[in-house]
Structure 1
Amino acid sequence: MNWSHQHLKEAGSTNDWAMAWLKQRSLTHPLLVTTDHQTSGRGQRGKTWEGQKGLDLAMSFVVPVRGPLHPPSLNKAVAVVVRQTLAGLDSSLDPVLEIKWPNDVLIRRNNQWEKVCGILVENVWRGAEWTHVVVGVGVNVNSNPDVERATSLKAMAGKEFDVPALAQTMASGILDTIQGGLKEAAAYANHLHGCHEARPFLVQGERRTGIFMGVNREGLGEFLWADRREDLPSTDVVWLWDQA
Structure 2
Amino acid sequence: MSDLSYESVSSGFREAIRKQFSAEQFHYLPETGSTNDDLLDRIRRKKARHLDLVVTDLQHQGRGRRGDRWEAPSGRNLLFSLALKLEEPKAIWCRLPHLAAFVLGKVVESVLTISGKIQAKWPNDLLFDEKKLAGILVETVLVPEPYAVVGIGLNVNVRATEFPEELRAIATSIYELEKCESSRSFLLSEIISGFVSLYPNMLTNFDEVREWLHSRSVLSGRDIEVVTAEGTVRGIGAGLGEDGELIVNQGDHGNKSILSAERVLFR
What TM-score, normalized by structure 2, do the two folds share? 0.78
How far residue 20 of structure 1 moved from its aligned partner, in angstroms, is 0.7
For structure 1, list consecutive stretches of 5 or more residues without a partner in the other structure.
none
2:122 matched to which residue of 1? 101
Change beyond 3 A, Cα 1:64–1:231: closer
Deviation, structure 1 residue 181:
3.4
Residue among 252, 258, 264 paired with 1:227: 252
The letter of the residue matching 1:20 is: D
Between structures 1 and 2, the one with greater helix share: 2
Match of 1:86 among 84, 88, 108: 108
Alignment of 1:1-244 (within 5 A): 1=18, 2-3=20-21, 4-68=25-89, 70-92=92-114, 95-108=116-129, 113-126=130-143, 131-144=146-159, 145-146=163-164, 147=167, 148-182=169-203, 183=205, 184-186=208-210, 187-197=212-222, 199-201=223-225, 203=227, 210-228=235-253, 229-240=255-266, 243=267
Q: Residue 208 and residue 221 in structure 1: after superposition, are their counterparts in 2 closer, same or farther (change >3 A)?
A: closer
Whole-Å separation in 2 of the counterparts to 1:236 and 1:58: 22
More strand by share: 1
Q: How many pairs does the alignment contain?
A: 233
Does the residue aligned with 2:101 lie in a helix, a strand or coil?
Answer: helix
Would you say the 8 A contact 1:41–1:48 is kept in 2?
yes
> CA-atom RMSD, angstroms?
2.3
Change (3 A) 1:50 1:222: same
Q: Sort the Cα spacing of 1:202 and 1:77 in 2 relative to 1 into closer, same or farther, 3 A.
A: closer
Amino acid at match of 1:223: V
Q: What is the distance in 2 between the residues matched to 1:157 and 1:173?
A: 23
Structure 2, unaligned runs of 5 or more: 1-17
Q: Secondary structure at the match of 1:76?
A: helix
Separation in 2, partners of 1:209, 1:121: 25
1:138-165 superposed Cα distances (whole Å, 9 cap, x missing partner) = 0111002231401111001111101122
1:172 Cα deviation after fit: 1.5
Q: Secondary structure at the match of 1:44?
A: coil
Preserved contact between residue 82 and residue 170 of structure 1 (Cα < 8 Å): yes
State the TM-score, normalizing by the size of structure 1. Answer: 0.85
**Deviation string, structure 1 residues 59-86 (Cα, Å, up to 9, x no partner):** 1011223554611222222211110011
Conserved? CA contact 1:72–1:217, under 8 Å: no
Identical-pair percentage: 28
Contact 2:44–2:143, Cα closer than 8 Å, also in 1: no
- Offset at 1:191? 2.2
Deviation string, structure 1 residues 174-221 (Cα, Å, up to 9, x no partner): 222114333452433222222122x24254598775201122224432
Rounded to whole Å, the distance in 2 between the matches of 1:218 and 1:84 is 19
Cα distance change, pair 208–23 in 1 and its aligned pair in 2 (3 A)? closer
In the alignment, the residues of structure 1 paired with residue 89 and residue 226 of structure 2 have an alpha-carbon distance, to the nearest angstrom, of 35
Query: Cα distance, 1:33 vs. partner?
Result: 0.9
Supply the distance in 2 between the matched residues of 1:188 and 1:157 (Cα, whole angstroms).
23
Alpha carbons 1:73, 1:185 under 8 Å: kept: no
Counterpart Cα distance in 2 of 1:104 and 1:232: 16
Do 1:100 and 1:192's aligned partners in 2 also have CA atoms closer than 8 Å? Answer: yes
